[in-house]
Structure 1
Amino acid sequence: MPVRITLGAPRFKLPYTLTHSVRELAPKKAYFGKPLPEFTAAYRADLDRLGPARIAERLREIVNVELEHRLVLLCFEDLSDSAQWCHRRVFAAWWQDATGDEVRELGPTMGPYEQGRLL
């Protein structure tokens, strides 16, 4: 089940429907364009304030509506380009630190969501 975790929608057509969005996991505009170390510190602080229990609760709401436990958290940077980075990976590292659970990244050949990556 694709779930958008961005402030805005993608600027290109997707081969799937984005029914759900968890804006709480989107980085804030105030630090979005900052260098990666500054961005990471600010985003992780936001995640700390939100907390893993609230995030899990929000994702569980989607699971309960869709009756689908496999969520694919999406933003739309192309991580095959080494010059790009994305808050999905910052979130994944934070989630593993906070919960001990690993968050896998879907590659382009791993599933139907080539424009977005698994989180």
Structure 2
Amino acid sequence: MEPIRLATCTYQEFAPHMGIPVRTTAGHPRFSLPYQLAGHARLITPTRELLKINARDAYEFSYRRLLNGNGLENIRRELATIAAASGSDGPLVLLCFDRFDKLRPPNDWCHRRMAAAYWTELTGEEVPELGAKPMSDQTPPPTLFDF
């Protein structure tokens, strides 16, 4: 089967030149988007029950159980269907709300990055993040003593 190119980003940071926008959230954005979504990847969308879990380890364990239960091949078929219906050859960009540049450790995580890690582990295909980097990955601003 031909690889599916994936990337991740936020609804807010996504721009059409990045690829094909795909919803992965339980709810629709509550703000207007300057682009049209190509589809909803339901098999990688966390359940509302999952969204109540605040601890990363517990969330990731439960989310991976959901992904495993849905199965990689079923997820791949769903994503391939969205890609084919879009009529574009760009990567599918899995969207959610969490902006990593606004989150500080230990809360700089979300399901889209967990889905990306899951995909990479099982397929070997890298899934880049197109949004801003997490605060923990950014170089801190210089202090007076750095000059």
TM-score (norm. length: structure 2): 0.68
Query: SS in structure 2 opposite 1:9?
Result: coil
TM-score (norm. length: structure 1): 0.82
Q: Percent identity?
A: 39
Query: Which residue, out of 74, 92, 95, partners 2:119?
Result: 95
State how many pairs are aligned. Answer: 108
Q: State the shift of 1:63 in Å.
A: 1.6
Q: State the shift of 1:106 in Å.
A: 0.3
Q: Which residue of 2 aligns with 1:85?
A: 109
5 Å-filtered alignment, 1:50-89, equals 50-69=70-89, 70-83=91-104, 84-89=108-113
Query: SS in structure 1 opposite 2:65?
Result: helix
Query: SS in structure 2 opposite 1:74?
Result: strand
Can you give the 5+ residue segments of structure 2 that lack an aligned partner in the other structure?
A: 1-19, 133-147
Query: SS in structure 2 opposite 1:28?
Result: coil
CA distance in 2, matches of 1:9, 1:67: 23
- Relative contact order higher in (CA < 8 Å, ≥ 6 apart): 2
CA distance in 2, matches of 1:19, 1:95: 20
Can you give the 5+ residue segments of structure 1 that lack an aligned partner in the other structure?
A: 109-119
Structure 1 or 2, whichever has the larger Rg, is: 2
Q: Which residue of 1 aligns with 2:61?
A: 41
Q: State the shift of 1:85 in Å.
A: 2.2
| Greater share of residues in strand | 2
